[in-house]
Structure 1
Amino acid sequence: MPVQKSMEAFNLQYTYPHCPEPKEITDMDPATNTVEDLMLRICHQEGIENSKAVCLYTIEGMPLTDDPFFNTWSLKDRHIQNGGKLYVMFTPKENLKQAPRTPQREVNDIIGEDNVRCHIMLKGDFEVKVDLASDTLRDLRQKLSDESGIPAHVLHYKSERGGVGQTLLDCGINEESTVSFSLSSFPDEHPDTKEFYLNDVVPSVQQSQKGLSAFFSSLYAVVRYSNIYYTVLLLSF
């Protein structure tokens, strides 16, 4: 069937550093065009070279393009409103996070007679058929993926109970439970701080050693002053 576009008028405004005045985009369909489409459109409109990419933020500063999975959502699903204003940063492509390779899909033929309600961040509730006595969290995640259409590797469940191989009952999950899942393209891991902050981005503007030294010295002074102030405040009580 031919693709039918919405007849509703839709426009966006965006700005970026040193932009003389807000730019406008008027011919996108919020129901079918994705955030990736918007990123490509801005690059084309601004004549950005292939080595550069776009990072989008709300006008309040909330990042919109940090996770490649959410970039595949429509403008409507990402709650980018008609008449909305966005802030754009242009950066080398290597600074953008790359989605990890999609793992091979696992198959679980056990349908189960128990119902478990799952809540997916920004997507709502889903009823999933499981066997509480034999299915594991991994099985639940795959079945939820089948039910919701969301790839299993971006579904993340946080709990203090349960581990690899334990059943849903062992994890304290029953038919009265609501199991919450967050969405992210990346594993729920906390990298080593030194490794994470060491040369993790390539600056768009070349920095001199003198400039970097002045910046970090000022930052260290501000942080140290904050610690001293907080300590004095505690002692005063």
Structure 2
Amino acid sequence: MKTLFPVKLKKTITLFLILLPAFHSGYAQLARNWIPESELSFRLDSIRKSDGVEKHFAEIYLMATIAADRYIATLPDTPKMLLNRLQAEFARRFFESIDGRNNGHIPVVWTNYYTYTGLNDLQFKLIGTNGHINGDSWQVLFNYFNPYELQYIEPYYNHCTEALQVVLDSLHVYGCNQNKRLYNLHRISFGLDKAYARHLLRKWRERQYKVAVSGYENHNRFLRMQMRIKRRVKYTDYLIRHLLI
């Protein structure tokens, strides 16, 4: 049976539903109003104000960090310590990518972000988000947490995902202001894009956690899941580059 929609349009709709709701029309103003509260967020704020391409992703990462910091501050000492470790090591991946760009040794996860040319602000933000969540998260969870710690932090990790939803909600229509195709698609989605984005944020972060756990339980499954994630990251980057021009 022939499809009712052109393949390119279907891909555009898929990309829109996955990534657009991470941005809001008031994004720039909100980014200025989210005041840094930790050493990490102050560093991200400094990068956001720099001239390098890393400033694009640093804007959204700053907001996510502040939201996570506020949630972590409410926790008892042990989960607070563990999630602060997660925050620090996760951010270090981004900082290492900046150093790698400067010295010619860019981490694989960040290669596309720093080597693609002609990207606009929205594309940089989305490619950075895709790489950082789907490329860095599972590595941090696996390399810096033992099986007991992973089991212990799971509910707090999931609750932190919900805390990050405020960033998604605050940034919902930024992409519409930057891309006419996304604006038109937003109008025909009847608001379902926001609900789907919330679902996908949970799914993406849950998948990273499962990959890390599989590294301790089933090595073959661990390798297979890594390969699937790499393919997803590559395909999503392709859609961002070719459909959001």
Q: Shared fold (TM-score greater than 0.5)?
A: no
Higher normalized helix content (fraction of residues)? 2
TM-score, length-normalised on structure 1?
0.25
Higher normalized strand content (fraction of residues)? 1
Q: Which has the higher contact order (CA 8 A, sep 6+)?
A: 2
Highest Rg: 1 or 2? 1
